[in-house]
């Protein structure tokens, strides 16, 4: 249903629905009436589906806050971020918004999540001349100016030079990025992973991947185009609640898909009518059938970025969006068998989405988890139903940062300590807590680790440290302040020192070094796509450039990012924007790399935009939070048993 008359009573029933039970429908009639305010979605209620709403009463009566319309603005905009110290009381604002604004909505009976998407007028942006948002946001900033513990950025949008000069390469990149846009019911909702017209076998690269869309979203937002990002956030939110099964087993309710595809298909038994189908993949089609743990984390990160860059905080305050955040958090924070605050996941549950020996507690997931928790802490409405969750988020942040800073960090000094570790230590006072055998220090590392600088290792398990350098996790440790300021500097120092290994001819290596020989055979299972120095196994991924740029700007080292961007800029357009490069120094276009890979293009554009507007990078990253460092829930501050954090030998909380 897309603005078409509602079925009787305004509710969808199973009668109206087509057979498939895992798809989001939008009926497109040739003369479909487009409602101005609401995009409705056909949906399916599975008889065995659990009632969705966690908080009880909100669903049946929820109202969606009204949309602030903006005038069309085709000009280039620059966003000037004024970071204002500000605490907003979400609890009252969400509730009052929900009750005050009567906004047309559609929901499914039976306690299921209301399916409501606001219509954004075609061609209009939320950024720019959206006085409503600016005014509303300004008053919030003013109201709370004195009571701050958290920092909220205030994005003021100013029109900059409309003639802003774009290089030939940038122009080409914008054209390609726009060419990758996917529409759903006539509205942009994302970008395909790769749009190479010569590719006869796109596999799933014609889908919108959640993680791949993040740099596209940032490029659009930084360019003053918010509509596509808002649509993406809301549509993927709807997919979150969808039924997903692999051989009759369902994963948790908060799981976000790895990707989705929009299909336009003829409507069963109705000649001349078509429907747009939003078809998510939660890992049930993906190679390896792995649940994408990072999708929900990226979704939360993007939601916060959207608010920061547009000033449209109403989106994150919506009841359905708040529930989406909570479902993701519940899934991540649920009790299990874990002894560590890190998230336990399977191999391939993130950007590296096939077997690469990163099961357990891989750095990438931990860094994104930490970032998402920091985002959620800012965005969660605090009320009776969320107060325990907020406490859990704070506790987890505190424990996670300690754990990572203490146990994942290696530098020359730490490796020397490990080299001299005693093993088989029993008791809570043990120094070698994970029983790491010094023999595990790989030969390459002994000579590789520089005198200055350091990094977070890839993974930590009992008797196992994965010493490989994983770029994404290290960069997000910097961006989110998971690492101490000194560690953050150390990571960039190491990248600079090891430039030829980590950047070489194409930024940046996904991990270093590659698994070779027997190790490759055993750990990857002999994966012919992940051969040494290719793809996930030491390949070079230009999309990592935007994350590197963000980290460099945060650490006041933009010149490093510029150097990397200049390298990429020379080759990417000539090579047709490949997905990844192969060989030890990134000299060849990847063996099976897609061309016109969207996140390569968008990563480049986002880097350029961030370098042009470094003040915006600062609202996308976080500073050290001293409250979190103080916070320890164990309560063992004194007495016979001491808090293990206090007895830990090396102190990593320096500033
Ligand atoms: C590959 C990458 C994954 C990416 C996808 C689409 O599977 O490993 O990270 O999301 O391609 O580009």
String of DSSP letters for 16-47: G--S-SS-EEEEE-TT----SSEE--B----T
- Ligand 1 pocket by Cβ (under 6 Å): 193, 209, 211-212, 351, 353
Q: CA 214, 218, 222: angle at the middle one, nearest 5?
A: 175
Work out whether the CA dihedral 164, 123, 62, 14 comes out positive or negative: negative
pLDDT at 81: 29
In 3-state terms, what secondary structure has residue 256? coil
Among 204, 208, 209, which residue has the most ligand 1 atoms within 8 Å of its CB, making it the best to mutate? Answer: 209
Report the separation in Å between the CA atom of 357 and the middle of ligand 1, taken as the mean of its atom positions: 17
Tokens of 179: 């060419």
- In this structure, the residue with its CA closest to atom 7 of ligand 1 is 353
Which token pair is 106? 């559609």
d(CA 367, CA 477): 5
What does the pLDDT read at residue 638?
Answer: 56
d(Cα 302, Cα 522) in Å, to the nearest integer? 36
Ligand 1 atom closest to Cα of residue 350: 9
CA distance 372 to 359: 20
The dihedral over CA atoms of 292, 26, 72, 176, expressed in degrees to the nearest 10, equals 50
Q: Which atom of ligand 1 is nearest to the CA of 354?
A: 8
Residue whose Cα lies nearest atom 3 of ligand 1: it is: 351
Assign residue 133 a region: left if phi > 0, alpha if psi is -120 to 50, beta otherwise? alpha
The rounded Å distance from CA 27 to ligand 1 centre is 30
Sheet holding 259-266, edge to edge: 24-28, 274-281, 259-266, 208-209
By most ligand atoms within 8 Å of CB, the mutation choice from 196, 204, 207, 211 for ligand 1 is 211
What pLDDT, on a 0 to 100 scale, did the predictor assign at position 283? Answer: 79
d(CA 307, CA 417): 44
Side-by-side strand order, sheet with 464-470: 409-411, 454-461, 464-470, 511-512
For residue 212, the ligand 1 atom closest to its alpha carbon is 10
CA of 193 to the centre of ligand 1 (A): 8
Report which protein residue has its CA nearest ligand 1's atom 9. Answer: 351
Residue 212 alpha carbon to ligand 1 centre in Å: 7
Residue 21: per-residue pLDDT: 40
CB 222 within 8 A of CB 288: no
pLDDT the model gives residue 158:
34
How close is the Cα of 351 to the center of ligand 1, in Å?
6
Q: Hey, which of 290, 351, 544 would you mutate to test ligand 1's pocket, going by the most ligand atoms within 8 Å of its Cβ? A: 351
Q: Are 468 and 441 in contact (CB under 8 A)?
A: no
For residues 611 and 545, give the distance between their C-alpha atoms in angstroms, rounded to a whole number: 12
Query: What is the CA(549)–ligand 1 centre distance, in A?
Result: 21
Ligand 1: nearest atom to the Cα of 194: 12
pLDDT at residue 251, as a whole number:
79
For ligand 1, atom 4, the nearest C-alpha belongs to 351
Testing ligand 1's pocket by substitution, the residue of 353, 529, 535 carrying the most ligand atoms inside 8 A of its CB is 353
Ligand 1 centre from 569 Cα, in Å? 22
- Ligand 1 atom closest to the Cα of residue 258 is 10
Is the distance from CB of 256 to CB of 301 less than 8 angstroms? no
Buried b (16+ CB within 10 A) or exposed e, 203-237: ebbbbbbbbbbbbbbbbbbbbbbbbbbbbbbbbbb
| pLDDT, averaged in runs of 10, over the chain (655 residues) | 33 33 49 30 30 25 26 31 29 29 28 35 38 34 30 37 76 98 97 92 92 98 98 95 73 90 90 90 78 96 98 97 96 91 95 95 98 98 96 96 97 96 87 91 96 97 96 98 98 98 98 98 97 98 98 98 98 98 98 97 98 94 89 67 67 44
Residue 423: enclosing H or E segment and its boundaries? none
Ligand 1 centroid vs 597 CA: distance in angstroms?
Answer: 10
* Index of the ligand 1 atom closest to the CA of residue 209: 10
Atom of ligand 1 nearest to the CA of 351: 9
d(CA 489, CA 455): 10
Question: What was the pLDDT predicted at 269?
Answer: 85
**Among 115, 20, 126, 13, which residue's Cα sits nearest to residue 69?**
126
Instruction: Choose among 450, 427, 457, 428: nearest CA to 500.
Output: 450
Q: Which atom of ligand 1 is nearest to the CA of 204?
A: 6
Give the mutation target among 193, 355, 535, 602 for probing the ligand 1 site: most ligand atoms within 8 A of CB. Answer: 193
- Nearest atom (ligand 1) to Cα of 207: 6
């Amino acid at each position: 249903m897309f603005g078409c008359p509602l079925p009787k009573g305004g509710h969808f029933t199973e009668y109206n629905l087509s057979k498939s039970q895992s798809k989001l429908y939008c009926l497109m009639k040739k003369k479909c009436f487009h409602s101005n305010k609401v995009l409705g979605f056909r949906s399916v209620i599975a008889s065995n589906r659990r009632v969705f709403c966690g908080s009880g009463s909100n669903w049946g009566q929820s109202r969606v806050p009204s949309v602030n319309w903006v005038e069309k603005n085709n000009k280039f905009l620059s966003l000037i971020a004024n970071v204002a110290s500000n605490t907003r009381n979400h609890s009252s604002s969400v509730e009052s918004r929900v009750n005050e604004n009567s906004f047309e909505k559609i929901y499914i009976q039976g306690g299921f999540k209301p399916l409501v998407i606001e219509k954004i007028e075609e061609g209009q942006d939320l950024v720019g001349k959206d006085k409503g948002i600016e005014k509303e946001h300004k008053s919030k900033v003013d109201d709370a100016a004195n009571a701050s513990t958290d920092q909220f950025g205030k994005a003021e949008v100013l029109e900059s030079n409309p003639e802003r000069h774009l290089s030939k390469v940038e122009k080409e990149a914008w054209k390609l990025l726009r060419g990758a846009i996917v529409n759903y019911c006539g509205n942009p909702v994302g970008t395909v992973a790769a749009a190479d017209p010569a590719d006869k076998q796109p596999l799933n690269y014609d889908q919108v991947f959640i993680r791949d869309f993040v740099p596209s979203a940032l490029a659009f937002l930084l360019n003053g185009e918010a509509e596509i990002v808002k649509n993406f956030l809301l549509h993927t939110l709807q997919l979150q609640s969808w039924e997903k099964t692999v051989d009759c087993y369902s994963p948790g309710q908060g799981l976000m898909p790895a990707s989705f595809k929009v299909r336009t298909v003829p409507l069963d038994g109705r000649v001349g009518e078509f429907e747009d189908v939003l078809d998510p993949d939660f890992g049930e089609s993906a190679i390896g059938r792995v649940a994408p743990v990072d999708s929900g984390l990226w979704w939360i990160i993007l939601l916060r970025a959207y608010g920061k860059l547009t000033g449209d905080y109403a989106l994150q305050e919506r009841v359905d969006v708040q529930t989406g955040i909570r479902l993701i958090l519940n899934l991540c924070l649920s009790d299990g068998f874990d002894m560590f605050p890190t998230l336990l996941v399977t191999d391939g549950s993130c950007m590296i989405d096939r077997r690469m020996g990163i099961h357990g507690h891989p750095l990438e997931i931990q860094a994104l988890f930490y970032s998402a928790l920091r985002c959620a802490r800012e965005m969660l409405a605090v009320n009776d139903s969320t107060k325990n969750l907020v406490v859990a988020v704070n506790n987890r942040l505190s424990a996670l940062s300690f754990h990572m800073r203490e146990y994942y960090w290696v530098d020359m000094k730490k490796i020397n300590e490990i080299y001299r570790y005693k093993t088989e230590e029993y008791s809570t006072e043990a120094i070698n807590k994970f029983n790491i055998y010094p023999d595990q220090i790989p030969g390459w590392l002994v000579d590789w680790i520089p005198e200055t600088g350091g990094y977070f290792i890839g993974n930590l398990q009992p008797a196992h440290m994965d010493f490989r350098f994983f770029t994404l996790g290290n960069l997000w440790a910097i961006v989110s302040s998971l690492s101490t300021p000194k560690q953050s500097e150390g990571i960039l120092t190491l990248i600079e020192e090891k430039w030829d290994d980590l950047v070489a001819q194409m930024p940046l290596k996904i991990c270093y070094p590659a698994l070779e020989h027997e190790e490759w055979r055993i750990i990857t299972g002999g994966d012919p796509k992940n051969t040494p120095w290719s793809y996930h196994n030491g390949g070079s991924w230009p999309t990592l450039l935007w994350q590197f740029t963000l980290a460099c700007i945060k650490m006041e080292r933009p010149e490093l990012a510029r150097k990397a961007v200049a390298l990429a800029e020379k080759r990417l357009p000539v090579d047709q924007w490949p997905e990844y490069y192969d060989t030890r120094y990134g000299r060849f276009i990847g063996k099976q790399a897609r061309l016109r890979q969207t996140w390569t293009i968008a990563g480049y554009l986002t880097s350029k935009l961030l370098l042009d507007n470094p003040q915006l990078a600062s609202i996308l990253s976080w500073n050290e939070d001293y409250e979190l460092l103080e916070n320890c829930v164990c309560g063992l501050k004194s007495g016979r048993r001491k808090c293990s954090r206090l007895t830990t030998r090396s102190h990593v909380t320096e500033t």
